[in-house]
Structure 1
Amino acid sequence: MKTQPWQRDPEAYDFQFTITPLFFHLDVERHVNNVAVQSFHTEGRLRYLMNVSGADGIWCSDQVLLRPRRTVTQFLEETHYLTDVQCAVKLVAVDKDSCRFVIALFQNGECTSVQDCLMGAWRDGQWQPLPASLFDTLSARLGEVPELAPWPDFEAGPEADQGYPCRTPLEPRFIDQDTDRRLGELTIARYLEQSRVSSLDAMRLPGLGLLVARIDIHYLDWPAPLHSASLATGIAGFGNSSFRVHSGARVNDVLVGVCESVMVLMNREQRRPTPIDAAMRDAMAGSLVAG
């Protein structure tokens, strides 16, 4: 999935605000962590929706929950601490069952990441039509639709993780719940990050690092309460200097999210991609997705 030229232009968006990275957003690479970047995109859609339709039913609801069905986040540049980030949001599609946003982040005049997000309404354990009032409000706001890239060819069903060979148990925490006492969106992203990290030790060698180029998440369930969790991961394929990781997270033995991450092997000194050699491929052979 490639970014379109207009997505890198802040003037192409309908709604903008500034957000400040905090120190605890940093990871061991000393730039803003990928889930923290995703949290900025989440904040963008939330503020847009509150701006056009008010807070009621958007950020706190005991009835219909507005939640992402799928997000594809592309990381174009590193996001750094101590410099404000401009968050830009554009509504690009509305239908009876979903709405689609593009959210971009800009820092120091550069586009650092772009997210495509398909939102839906969740109630009684399944996706529902959008509330009529929200559908009407968003339809009235929808302007000219720009060119959009097709979604990546990565589908996910309720048993998608069965062929992922690396398994890790996880203990849910109180903080994993959101304001609706459901599993939080960013908690799912964090679980999937942990699943990916837990399976890549063979790629962590002196002088080498791993960067995330793209994260494609399908959100499948929003359980409450949280009793148990488990993670599953597998390598889905290698390129020259990149590889694809498939991850799944289960809560209460239900698959809540599945993810494809495109990772790039980097030479730390040169800050450039470096080839994945035969020894690394052999070391990861046991982690390949079955089938």
Structure 2
Amino acid sequence: MAKPDQALLDPARYPFDTEVDVRFSDMDVNRHVNNVSLSNFVEEGRVRFHRASGYHAAIAGVGSMVASVAIEYVGQAFYPGTLHLHAGASHVGRTSYTLELLITQEGRAVVFARSVMVCTKDGKPHLIPDAFRDAVAAEWGVRS
């Protein structure tokens, strides 16, 4: 993935925001948050978005898998501190959707990530439940 467009680094564009504390164990020998730890925060943001957006509840009886994750490290994060995880669905297709996630610390962009989630059933792609599609359209501003 090329360096993200500046517009993607604006927290105001994301409908979901939550915060997490950086742990001492997230720090590396260079005294900043390790990239592996930052990828864990990307995952945490995705899971929290799924709960808040209704995706988690909507896929009951249907599986879901991460088909793709691209992470751009655009700044450094430090301990101690708090990270803000900003997220939103940027596209909803028939069987998959794209989640964009921005991590900031003290107003500075640290990570931009784009994940593609695929609904599955019996090991094959499955239609995204209408409950999630409707919730994203109504509450999160994304159209299919």
Contact preservation (8 Å) 1:215, 1:261: yes
Q: Are 1:173 and 2:27 counterparts?
A: no
Gap change, CA 1:164 and 1:215, over 3 Å in 2: same
- 1:200 aligned counterpart, secondary structure: helix
1:227 and 2:113 aligned: no
Aligned to 1:12: none
Give structure 1 regions of 4+ aligned residues with deviation exceeding 4 angstroms: none
Q: What is the identity percentage for the equivalent residue pairs of Structure 1 and Structure 2? A: 25
Equivalences for residues 43-192 of structure 1 within 5 A: 151=1, 155-157=4-6, 159-192=9-42
Distance between the aligned counterparts of 2:136 and 2:104, measured in 1? 23
Higher gyration radius (CA): 1
State the one-letter code of the partner of 1:280: F
Give the unaligned 5+ runs of structure 1: 1-150
Q: In the TM superposition, what are the counterparts of 1:204-223 in structure 2 within 5 Å?
A: 204=56, 205-223=59-77
SS at match of 1:207: coil
Whether the 8 Å CA contact 1:199–1:287 is kept in 2: the answer is no
How many residues align structurally? 136
Structure 2 unaligned residues grouped into runs of 5+: none
Higher RCO, Cα 8 Å, sep 6+: 2
Structure 1 or 2: more helix by fraction: 2
SS at match of 2:77: coil
Q: Residue by residue, what CA displacement relative to the aligned partner does 1:240-268 show, whole Å, maximum 9, x if unpaired? A: 1000000011123311001110110112x
1:287 paired residue number: 140
Q: For residue 199 of structure 1, report the CA deviation from its aligned partner.
A: 1.1
Residue of structure 2 in register with 1:274 after alignment:
126
Q: CA 1:174/1:225 → structure 2, altered by over 3 Å: closer, same or farther?
A: closer
Taking structure 2 as the reference length, the TM-score comes to 0.83
Paired residue secondary structure (1:175):
helix
The AA in structure 2 aligned to 1:253 is G
Give the TM-score of the pair, scaled to structure 1.
Answer: 0.43
Local SS of the residue matching 1:226: coil
